[in-house]
Amino acid sequence: MSSHTPAAQPASGLAIIPALLGMVRFEHTVFALPFAFAGALMATNAVPAWSTLGWILLAMVGARSLAMALNRIIDRTLDAANPRTAGRHLPAGRLTTMQVWVFAGISLGALVGAVSQLPSLTWWLWPVPVALFVVYPYTKRVTWACHLVLGLAIGIAPIGGWIAVTGAFALAPVLLWAAVAAWIAGFDVIYALLDVDHDRQAGIRSIPARFGEARAVRAAAALHVLALVLLAAAGIAASVSWPYYVGVAACGVILLWEHMTVRPGDEARIQAAFGTANGVMSLVFLAGVIGEVAVA
């Protein structure tokens, strides 16, 4: 008998929907969406109109889905060559490239449709994150600073939420953008520990592949300390009160747990540090902002 495993058949009909949701890892929307809502709440220290929050939600879901679809399309060859990612939907044949392109187009339409209902500045700015979504997958081919580009792309969430409410820039949301960018870059460095050996062999750039695992963990810790400092600075710029800083302090405890948990070479610990800790942190930060609005 042949040991060859036949390729999976591409999903069709309604089966495409769960396949697409699995491809984009829809549950990871929790990383950025709470920060978008936090930016919206901090903009006026009050709850915006429910319609505004709805458009923000649609824009974020569209943007996140577009980003993941583009990443999977651009990286499909790299994913196929990596044993850890070869089972992803495109290299495994569970979705076709055309199906993912169509999904990307629908996601872009959701993003554009949502921002068309928000202040005009959001309309002029939506190409910025889209450009970063396209650029990021290529940066890992040329520079170990790719983690920072990813951070800038996802970190735009709170400034987007702020502008969706006020229609204008301010110092506080810019600091929030920088804070989330540092946080995202830090945990992406941790995630890259999963592939350090393969990345070195394949010529993929990352901080762990370039500087080693021990230095990578220290770099991630430094980025997370910077993120906490910037979150506190954003609070000062927005003139918030104590519940916000309680939330930031709680985020610090979670990040400390994350760095106590992670162990290079231990995939289970890395996955826990990457997924569980960071998903909880974003929700805790939003809770602190909600508390701030409640006592205002």
What per-residue confidence (pLDDT) applies to 28? 66
pLDDT, one tens digit per residue, over 87-100 is 998 999 999 999 99
How far is 74 from 63, CA to CA, in rounded Å? 16
Q: Are 81 and 74 in contact (CB under 8 A)?
A: no
| Cβ pair 156, 200 in contact under 8 A | no
Residues with Cβ within 8 Å of 255's Cβ and at least 6 positions away in sequence, in order, are 224, 227, 228, 277, 281
Contact 67, 133 (CB under 8 A): yes
Identity of residue 63:
A
Residues 5, 2: Cα–Cα separation, whole Å = 8
Domains of the chain: 28-295 (1.10.357.140)
Q: What is the residue type of 230?
A: L
The pTM is what?
A: 0.90
Which of left, alpha, beta for 262 (phi over 0: left; psi -120 to 50: alpha)?
Answer: beta
The predicted-structure confidence for 132-179, as pLDDT tens digits, reads as follows 999 999 999 999 999 999 999 999 999 999 999 999 999 999 999 999
Tens digits of per-residue pLDDT, 229-287?
A: 999 999 999 999 999 999 999 999 999 999 998 888 777 888 777 777 888 899 999 99
Per DSSP, 117 falls in state T
Q: Are 244 and 292 in contact (CB under 8 A)?
A: yes
Where would I find the beta strands (DSSP E) of 146-287?
Answer: none
Burial of 95 (0-12, 13-18, 19+ CB in 10 A): buried
Name the average pLDDT for the chain. 91
Q: Which long-range contacts (CB under 8 A, 24 or more apart) does 10-16 make?
A: 10/93, 10/94, 10/95, 10/96, 10/99, 11/94, 11/95, 11/99, 16/95, 16/99
